[in-house]
Amino acid sequence: MTQLYFLCTGNSCRSQMAEGFARQMAPQDWQIASAGVEQHGLNPLAVKVMAERGVDISQHLSKLIDNDYLQHSDMVVTLCGDARDKCPMTPPTVAKRHWPLPDPAQATGTDEEVLAVFRQVRDDIEGRVKELIQTLS
């Protein structure tokens, strides 16, 4: 069984989307979770753009990093520099990847322009998660 952990700053957008896609794409026996170095609450726009892809993350909760889960993960993926820099030390058995993605929650402009940023980040995450699962399978 493979255990994945997706980390970002507030566990509100990027890591939640990665967890949602991984739960949809990975084998059923994989353990998949996400967390943040802070808790910012689940972003409703992340829920909306994931629903457009048929992935329901509406029941996800914003969580802080669980050190026990982290220490026993096979792969930890940080989705922003803040999480990478603040992630607690892990044993050498834990593989790490870093995906430096922009925070869609920081997007400005019209509602459509902000949604476009969320969709762009979502699509980037979807491709990266798919590739990661193929690599680990």
Q: Are 128 and 97 in contact (CB under 8 A)?
A: no
Catalytic residue among 80, 125, 129, 132: 80
Give dist(CA 129, CA 101) in Å, integer: 13
Residue type, 4: L
Catalytic residue among 4, 8, 26, 101: 8
Respond yes or no: is residue 8 known to be catalytic: yes
Write out the two tokens for 52: 């457009």
Write out the two tokens for 112: 């459509």
Query: Which amino acids are annotated catalytic?
Result: 8, 80, 87
